[in-house]
Amino acid sequence: MNALTIGKVARLAGVGVETVRFYEREGLIDKPPRKTSGYRQYPEDTVLRLRFIRHAKELGFTLREIRELLGLQSDGERACDEVRSLAEAKIANIEEKVAMLERIREVLGELVIACKSNKKTGLCPILRAIESEE
């Protein structure tokens, strides 16, 4: 097994060096001990773990959820049920966000129409609506 520098690990995983350090601080990857040279040497499986974290983030999972997913990786059949449950909860969360964004788009669309028909008789309808929102 080859040991890798932080730069090599980051490059192979498709993340930045500061991201590697951040995940170390968050406890998502192990911080390897320093060699006599002063450099840390990461095991190759760190790259796979970083890729897993990156892909999970791309799917919208939070660091807390990713930590949970990582904990379930070696848990066999029980893990699959729990991971499916987490994924279903994530889908529900995404659907809520999509619905909220659609409502925002609708309201902004109405405000743009109101702004177009405004005859410069006062404050812009968009600004007025933003000002009055609580």
Query: pLDDT tens digits for 61-81?
Result: 999 999 999 988 877 767 888
Collapsing DSSP to helix, strand or coil, 4 comes out as: strand
Which residue, 30, 25, 27, is CA-closest to 9?
30
> What is residue 134's predicted lDDT score, i.e. its pLDDT?
55
Taking the model in full, what pTM does it have? Answer: 0.77
Q: Which helix (H) or strand (E) holds 38?
A: none
Going from the C-alpha of 97 to that of each of 26, 70, 88, 94, 104, the distances in angstroms are 27, 25, 14, 5, 10
Whether 88 shows a pLDDT value over 90: the answer reads yes
Looking at the chain, the whole-number percentage of residues with pLDDT higher than 70 is 93
**CATH for 1-74, among 1.10.1660.10, 1.20.120.1200, 3.30.565.10, 3.30.2010.10?**
1.10.1660.10
